[in-house]
Amino acid sequence: MMRILDHINLEFLEGEMVCLLGPSGCGKSTLLRLIAGFDTAASGEVTIDGERVVGPSPNHIFVFQHSGLLPWMTVWQNVELGVRNVKDAQTRREKIQENIDMVDLTDFEQHYPYQLSGGMKRRAELARALAANPDVLIMDEPFNGLDFLSHMKIREEIVNMHEFLRKTTLVVTHDIDDALLMGDRIVVMGGRPAQVKSNRQLDFPHPRDPKKNVALGDLRDELFLMLGVSYAV
C-alpha cells in the first residue's frame, strides 16, 4: 500500500481560514477528502467538534476543483439543493435569494450552467455551499480553470464573505499569492509521503499586498524557497 500522508497532525480553529499550500501531487487534496469524509485513513482519525468523521456530512461542505453544478438545473435549483432540509417554503426561498445575491448572481437565477462563465459557475457553487450553512467549508483549488480577472475577483469575494460570515474554511491551493492574500494561517505540505513543512499564522489585516508590506513580502520569498523556487517574480 502506498503511503500518501505521513504523521499529519493539524488542528483548525473555529472561524479561521486555513490555506493548505504545496505543489501538485503532494497530498493536499487527499487530506481534504479525509476531512470531508469522502475517504478513510488507514490509520489515525479526523474529528470535528470532538466527533469522529466517518463519512460525508451536510455540516462540512466540499467545493470541488471542477464545476459541481448539475447541468440540468438552473442556478436557483442548484442553490436550492443547499436548503432542501428547510421545510418552510418562504424561508427556503429567502435563503436561496439571499445567497444568490451574496455572490452577485442576481438576475441569473433562471440561467443554466452552460449559460454562465467560469467565474459565474464558481459563484453559483459558493452560493449553494453557503446556503447549506455548513460548520466547515472545504474548497479544493477554487480558482482552477478561471481567467486571471475572474480569479482575482472571486478570491476577493471569498475573503470578504469569510470576513463577514467567519465560517471555518479550508482552502487547498498551489498558488503562494492566493494563500498569502486569503489565509489566517498557511500550512505548507511537501514530500512523499506528504508531511507538514510549515504551519504559519498570518497576522496581517485585509486587504493585503506583498509589494507594499515588507514582512508579507519576506514571507512570500520564504515560501517560494520552501517550495524549491529560488526566485520569486
What are the domain boundaries of the chain? 1-59+134-233, 68-133
Enumerate residues 6+ apart whose C-beta is below 8 A from 122. Answer: 67, 142, 143, 146, 150, 154
Better pLDDT: 150 or 2: 150
Q: Which helix (H) or strand (E) holds 17?
A: strand 17-21
Pick the CATH number of 1-59+134-233 from 3.40.50.980, 3.40.50.300, 3.30.110.70, 3.30.70.270: 3.40.50.300
Mean pLDDT of the chain: 89
Residue 124: the pLDDT is 94
Better pLDDT: 229 or 174: 174
DSSP string, 44-78: ---EETTEEP-S-BTTEEEE-SS----TTS-HHHH
Give 3-state DSSP helix, strand, coil % of the chain, rounded to 5: 35, 15, 45
pTM for the model stands at 0.87
Q: For the segment 47-96, what is each residue's pLDDT rounded down to a tens digit?
A: 888 888 888 887 777 776 666 899 999 999 999 999 988 889 999 999 99
Q: For the segment 143-194, what is each residue's pLDDT rounded down to a tens digit?
A: 988 899 989 999 999 999 999 999 999 999 999 999 999 999 999 998 788 7
Residue 66: the pLDDT is 66
Q: For the segment 18-44, what is each residue's pLDDT rounded down to a tens digit?
A: 999 998 878 888 898 899 888 888 888
Written as one letter, the residue type at 52 is: R
* Confidence class for position 115, pLDDT limits 50, 70, 90: very high
